[in-house]
Amino acid sequence: QKLSLTRIKSMDTVRGIAVFLMLPSHFVQWYLPQIPEYSWLHFLIISIIAWPLRFCFLTMPAMGVILQKYIGKRRGIDENILKKIILKRGLLLILIQLFCNILGWSLFMIWNSFVISFIGISIIISYFISKYSQRTRIILIIVIIIMTPFLKIHFFPLYFNISSFLGSWSITSFLYNMFLQVDFPIFPLIAYSIFGTIYAERMIKAIETNSQSKFIKQSIIFGTALILAYIILSNFRTILNYPDFFLNLPPRQEIIYAFGSVMVYISIFFWIQDWKRLNIKALIPFKIYGAISLTVFITHYYFFPKLLDLFYNPWQRMGPYSIFELTLILNIFYIIYGIIILRRNKKYSIEWFIRACT
């Protein structure tokens, strides 16, 4: 059965699960006095579910660019119009990041680059990089994986001098941070985005040629192989990650794990929702989260902690049960809010604001 490609439901669902798991993950980091000892439950939730979904969250903006280009072309939308829309969205996300830096932290943190600005850069780069062949993009991914630690070593003395004498207002310091230093550095994480453009194109081709079964099987097989390769290669971390010192970069083999995770997770839900078209009601909350993912991230990360500080002593730590209550309350709020927003075509959400501006 050939699908009518207007939206890939599995992408919304996987994105929604990733955002759903952000809430307890962040609250544990912020409010729990210490992380519990590792257990099978911790391994299952963090290592098997939450950590891989983080990679999916970072990869999907690039996949969305490819899907938008494909649908726009089928509808006869001019390429220049599509280009303007995509580039405006990327630039707007970078500006939103700077705005959140001021409101969430302080004026002196305006140049801080984080996940929203990374997504904005990812969207822009994905548009331009998708014009190249898949072979060229694969070669570029390999180059990024190999060269990133050497770039960091080369530019670290420059960063040290800039941060010591010019402070956080230096545009050069900002660019260094954005590309190599922060929690979501463009290098090497842009490799996820480039991979996302390739994977989305192959997914679309599978839908066009009615070969979804083959696509799903290949994704699960290759994805599982990459995850197993990561486990094996982790025993050779020092050798594989030369030069290995205080780089604060994802290990090279982690990028392989990211690719495998994306292929496995998305292909499973693609099989359930887009190919078999199974209507599983338990996935509806994740669909809602996926539709308002940016709104959920910005409000819970930048604004909710300040709101909570008005009612709760920030120096007093919470217990695990309080974290559970807090997560449950916000989950109920976001689901109700999401239902209302979706009925209004996402009006009064960050997604609606971006769409209105582009």
pLDDT the model gives residue 155: 72
Which tens digit of pLDDT belongs to each residue from 37-67? 555 555 566 666 777 888 999 999 999 999 9
Is residue 10 within 8 A of residue 269, CB to CB? The reply is yes
pLDDT the model gives residue 70: 93
Query: What confidence tier does 166 reach under pLDDT thresholds 50, 70, 90?
Result: very low
Residue 25, token pair as written in the block: 């993950």
Q: How far is CA 77 from CA 71, 72, 158, 162, 285, in A?
A: 9, 5, 45, 45, 32
Query: What confidence tier does 36 reach under pLDDT thresholds 50, 70, 90?
Result: low
Is residue 90 within 8 A of residue 121, CB to CB? The reply is yes
Residue 267, token pair as written in the block: 């292909």
pLDDT the model gives residue 238: 73
Phi, psi of 12 (to 5 degrees): -65, -40
Is residue 31 within 8 A of residue 317, CB to CB? The reply is yes
How far is the C-alpha of 59 from the C-alpha of 261, rounded, in Å?
A: 11
How far is the C-alpha of 316 from the C-alpha of 148, rounded, in Å?
A: 40
CA nearest 327: which of 307, 306, 304, 348? 304
Which tens digit of pLDDT belongs to each residue from 123-162? 999 999 999 999 999 999 999 998 888 877 777 665 555 5
Of 5-14, 125-134, 238-247, 296-305, give the range with the top mean pLDDT: 125-134
How far is the C-alpha of 207 from the C-alpha of 215, rounded, in Å?
A: 9
Query: What confidence tier does 181 reach under pLDDT thresholds 50, 70, 90?
Result: confident
Residue 278, number of CB atoms within 10 A of its CB: 10
CA nearest 112: which of 94, 89, 88, 91? 94
* Entry pTM: 0.89
**Window from 41-55, 72-86, 328-342 with minimum mean pLDDT:** 41-55
Task: Tell me which of 107 and 7 has the higher pLDDT.
Answer: 7
Helix (H, G, I), strand (E, B) or coil at 229: helix
| pLDDT at residue 109 greater than cutoff 70 | no
Instruction: Give Cα 208 distance to the centre of its chain.
Output: 26
pLDDT the model gives residue 48: 66
| pLDDT at residue 119 greater than cutoff 90 | yes
**Window from 30-44, 216-230, 332-346 with minimum mean pLDDT:** 30-44
Query: What confidence tier does 299 reach under pLDDT thresholds 50, 70, 90?
Result: very high
Instruction: Tell me what the mean pLDDT of segment 290-298 comes to.
Output: 94
Task: Tell me which of 344 and 62 has the higher pLDDT.
Answer: 62
Sequence-separated contacts (24+) of 104-109 with Cβ below 8 Å: 104/301, 104/302, 104/303, 104/306, 108/168, 108/169, 109/168
pLDDT the model gives residue 4: 56
Which tens digit of pLDDT belongs to each residue from 235-283? 877 777 777 655 566 778 889 999 999 999 999 999 999 999 898 999 9
pLDDT the model gives residue 178: 73
**What residues contact residue 292 under an 8 Å CB cut-off, 6+ apart?**
334, 337, 338, 341, 342, 346, 349, 350, 351
| pLDDT at residue 310 greater than cutoff 50 | yes
**Window from 159-173, 195-209, 293-307 with minimum mean pLDDT:** 159-173
**Window from 6-15, 30-39, 43-52, 62-71 with minimum mean pLDDT:** 30-39
| pLDDT at residue 11 greater than cutoff 80 | yes
The pLDDT mean for the chain works out to: 84
